[in-house]
Amino acid sequence: MVVQLAQEVAAKEVLPRFLNMNKRLLLVFTKNPQLGKVKTRLAKTIGDEKALLIFQKLIEKTAQTIGPMSVHKNLYYSEFIENGDPWDGQVSQKKIQSGDSLGKRMSHAFQDGFELGFEQIVIVGTDLWDLESSDIDQAFKALETNTAVLGPATDGGYYLLGLSQWIPEIFKNKNWGTASVLKDTMDDFKEKKVVLLKPKNDVDYYEDLRTFPELLNHLDQ
């Protein structure tokens, strides 16, 4: 609690100065890497230890991808704030997700960002091996002239969401983790201008690993 409070106090001191320079906020949602609690669908095929290894590699790759980006970056852990991990030096702030569903947790993070004065907010997770900084840059660029941007996932969800205005309804009444999420979210946007990025595949199953030989090779090391 002391570490978290110190981080939040320091953030409040630097945030107003930062907002004068940049109105963009990147949110990264991740789980704390704990054995048996991450990549559970993948673990059914390769076991908990190897699933945790893959998750850690995904975290390292995501942290490296966003590190050089010149935007404010808030990392949201699922359970508790960690120090001495790959995110150190790569993100602006570390926080804890708040809410009893994915929709509520994302909603709180977006709402907090808009209330702080950010004008373009993008969220990503840590399930993509091929997420590139150019994908995120493209999303922020799209938000300059559009209400929202979505990165469709091949499983029917989305790997990236960006907003240029607060739209609370898109986080409600969704069957999170199912193939209907992208469609239901698009329905909520109605007449608003939305940009779709190129589809990408989350790493959730062993078959997904075969798409990325570099990631799959880590199992043999």
The whole-number pLDDT of residue 22 equals: 76
**Domain range list for the chain:** 2-220
Measured from the Cβ of residue 115, the count of other Cβ atoms closer than 10 Å reads 9
Residue 7 pLDDT > 90? no
The DSSP string of 97-115 is --SSSHHHHHHHHHHHHHH
How far is it, in rounded angstroms, from Cα 53 to Cα 38? 10
Residue 19 pLDDT > 80? no
Residue labelled with tokens 């789980």? 31
With cut-offs at 50, 70 and 90, classify the pLDDT of residue 39: very high
CA within 13 Å, CB half, 185 = 30
Q: Is 3 exposed, middle or buried (0-12, 13-18, 19+ CB in 10 A)?
A: exposed
| Mean pLDDT over the full length of the chain | 90
CA-wise closest residue to 103 among 18, 157, 171, 166: 171
How far is it, in rounded angstroms, from Cα 95 to Cα 76? 5
The whole-number pLDDT of residue 218 equals: 86
Mean pLDDT across 28-43: 97
How far is it, in rounded angstroms, from Cα 220 to Cα 189? 45
Q: What is the distance, to the nearest Å, from the Cα of residue 27 to the centroid of all Cα atoms in its chain?
A: 6
Mean pLDDT across 152-160: 95
Residue 2 pLDDT > 70? no
With cut-offs at 50, 70 and 90, classify the pLDDT of residue 120: very high
How far is it, in rounded angstroms, from Cα 108 to Cα 47? 33
Q: What is the pTM (predicted TM-score) of this model?
A: 0.89
44: left (phi over 0), alpha (psi -120 to 50) or beta: alpha
2-220: CATH topology: Spore Coat Polysaccharide Biosynthesis Protein SpsA; Chain A (3.90.550)
The whole-number pLDDT of residue 15 equals: 52
How far is it, in rounded angstroms, from Cα 59 to Cα 122? 18
The whole-number pLDDT of residue 9 equals: 38
With cut-offs at 50, 70 and 90, classify the pLDDT of residue 166: very high
**Which two three-digit tokens encode residue 40?**
């559970």
Mean pLDDT across 146-155: 96
With cut-offs at 50, 70 and 90, classify the pLDDT of residue 141: very high
Largest Cα–Cα separation, the chain: 50
